[in-house]
C-alpha cells in the first residue's frame, strides 16, 4: 500500500469516527456547548459596541490592566473625550492623517507593563491592515513605582523618533521588556539602525524627559490609573484587548 493509500485509509477511518461522534450523546453535548460559547462571545461584543456608541466608558473586566499602587478604580473618566484633550502636536502617530482617519485610537501605555506588551503586537498588526483609514497615537504613562525603567524607555522611544524610528523602537522595547536599562537601550538603537552616538547623547541628556512627564500629567488629569487605556474616537476602553475583539471593534467603526 502506497503513501496515498495510507492517507485515504486514515481519511476513511476519520470519517467513520466523525459519524459515530455526531450520532452519540457526547456529540450533541459538544455542539450545544460550542453554540453557547458562540452566543456568549457575540453578546459580549455587541454589549461593548452598544456602550461605545452610547458614549459610556468601557471597562473590560476580563482584560488585564496594570494598576497603579493603591487599588483605585481602573479609570475615572466618563463619556467621550475630545481630540484636543487626547492628542498633542508632538504625539507619535502612525497610519492615516487626521483628515483621512475614520477612526483614531489613542493609547496611554507603559513600556514596562506586561499587558501593554500583550496588546502591542495585535494592535500594530491591525494598524498595518487599516493604516489608510485608522490613525494610532501613542502617549506615555510610565508607572515608575512598578517599572523603574519605564520612564527612561519612554524617553528612548522619543529619542528614536527624533531620527524617524519611534515605532521601530516602540516594537523593540515591548519585545525586550525584561531588559530596559540604559546600556540595553543604547544597544537597541544600533540594532534598529539609529545613529547610536546621537541617540545616546539624546537619552543621557534627558532631552525628552519633560515631554514624557507632560504625557504622564495628561493621563492623570484624565483620571487614568492603569495601563493600557485606549480611546476609540474619544471613547475610553480599558485593558489589554484580545486580537479578535480588537478587530471587531475596529471593524465596527469602519463600517
Residues 156 and 30 in one domain: no
Q: What is the CATH number of the domain that holds 64?
A: 3.40.30.10
Residues 132 and 199 in one domain: yes
Residues 88 and 10 in one domain: no
Range of the domain at 89: 57-254
Residues 210 and 231 in one domain: yes
Residues 5 and 108 in one domain: no
Residues 23 and 67 in one domain: no
What are the pLDDT tens digits along the chain (255 aa)?
A: 444 344 344 444 444 444 433 334 555 555 665 655 555 545 554 554 454 444 444 444 445 555 443 333 334 444 567 766 799 999 999 999 999 999 999 999 999 999 999 999 999 999 999 999 999 999 999 999 999 999 999 999 999 999 999 999 999 999 999 999 999 999 999 999 999 999 999 999 999 999 999 999 999 999 998 899 999 999 999 888 999 999 999 999 998
Residues 23 and 82 in one domain: no
Residues 117 and 2 in one domain: no
Residues 7 and 87 in one domain: no
Residues 44 and 63 in one domain: no
pTM listed for this prediction: 0.72
d(CA 57, CA 180): 33
Domain count within the chain:
2
Amino acid at each position: 500500500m502506497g503513501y496515498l493509500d495510507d492517507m485515504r485509509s486514515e481519511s476513511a477511518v476519520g470519517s467513520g469516527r466523525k459519524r459515530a461522534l455526531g450520532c452519540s450523546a457526547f456529540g450533541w453535548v459538544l455542539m450545544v456547548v460550542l453554540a453557547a460559547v458562540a452566543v456568549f462571545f457575540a453578546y459580549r461584543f455587541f454589549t461593548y459596541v452598544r456602550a461605545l456608541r452610547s458614549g459610556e466608558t468601557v471597562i473590560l473586566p476580563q482584560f488585564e490592566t496594570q494598576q497603579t499602587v493603591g487599588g483605585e478604580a481602573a479609570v475615572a473618566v466618563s463619556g467621550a473625550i475630545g481630540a484636543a484633550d487626547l492628542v498633542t502636536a508632538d504625539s507619535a502617530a502612525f497610519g492615516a492623517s487626521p483628515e483621512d482617519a475614520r477612526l483614531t485610537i489613542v493609547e496611554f501605555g507603559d513600556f514596562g507593563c506586561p499587558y501593554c506588551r500583550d496588546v502591542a503586537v495585535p494592535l500594530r498588526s491591525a494598524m498595518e491592515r487599516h493604516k489608510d483609514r485608522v490613525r494610532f497615537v501613542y502617549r506615555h504613562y510610565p508607572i515608575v513605582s512598578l517599572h523603574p525603567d519605564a520612564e527612561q524607555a519612554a524617553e528612548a522611544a522619543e529619542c528614536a523618533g527624533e531620527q524617524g524610528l519611534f515605532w521601530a523602537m516602540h516594537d523593540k522595547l515591548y519585545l525586550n521588556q525584561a531588559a530596559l536599562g540604559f546600556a540595553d537601550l543604547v544597544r537597541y538603537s544600533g540594532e534598529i539602525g539609529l545613529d547610536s552616538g546621537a541617540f545616546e547623547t539624546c537619552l543621557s541628556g534627558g532631552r525628552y524627559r519633560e515631554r514624557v512627564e507632560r504625557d504622564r500629567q495628561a493621563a492623570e488629569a484624565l483620571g487614568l490609573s492603569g495601563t493600557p487605556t485606549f480611546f476609540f474616537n474619544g471613547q475610553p476602553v480599558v485593558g489589554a484587548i484580545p486580537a479578535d475583539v480588537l478587530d471587531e471593534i475596529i471593524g465596527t467603526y469602519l463600517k
